[in-house]
Amino acid sequence: MANVFSMPPGLASLEMVTVGDARNEPDGRAMQDGTVGYGSVAHTYAIGKYEVTAGQYCEFLNAVAKSDPYGLYCTDMSYIGPGCRISRSGLSGSYTYRVNADSVNRPVNWVSYWDACRFADWLHNNQPTSFRAPATWQRGGSAVC
């Protein structure tokens, strides 16, 4: 049964599904370095049912990227073809972001692994208006990335 990782009214919510096959078998194929055993997860966890939308990512940018020191916004996002149509305006320190109405529910793109980690950290920590530096991200039982 799906649940919703919901936040205070007006903030992004993601529908989550539980992955409950704890202790699933790891991938038996060898990596380039010869190691094996990746992909097994020893605990139940939740994952987003749908891809993160341009609208949700835009909300994140407006909350944490007024100056964007981590490069969370990529100018390629604004392109009509391969982009998700998120645009940025203003000057560093007062950047604002908007997404075209026809792209709000489309999947976001031009997001790096670390951008995705920061987005997950933002969701996990009740969507603050800033986030901690990577060295202080939570680890262990409440790990995000």
Residue 6 has pLDDT above 80, yes or no: no
Name the residue ranges covered by the structural domains of the chain.
1-50, 52-145
106 three-state secondary structure = coil
Beta strand pairing call for 45-48 and 86-89: unpaired
Residue 72 has pLDDT above 90, yes or no: yes
Q: How far is CA 4 from CA 7, 52, 119, in A?
A: 9, 13, 17
User: What is the tens place of the pLDDT at every residue in 117-138?
Assistant: 999 888 877 666 654 444 444 4
Of the pLDDT bands very low, low, confident and very high (cuts 50, 70, 90), residue 73 is: very high
Of the pLDDT bands very low, low, confident and very high (cuts 50, 70, 90), residue 109 is: very high
**Mean predicted lDDT score pLDDT of the chain:** 81
Residue 89 has pLDDT above 60, yes or no: yes
The pLDDT value recorded for residue 22 is 74
The pLDDT value recorded for residue 81 is 80
135: CB partners within 8 A, 6+ apart: none
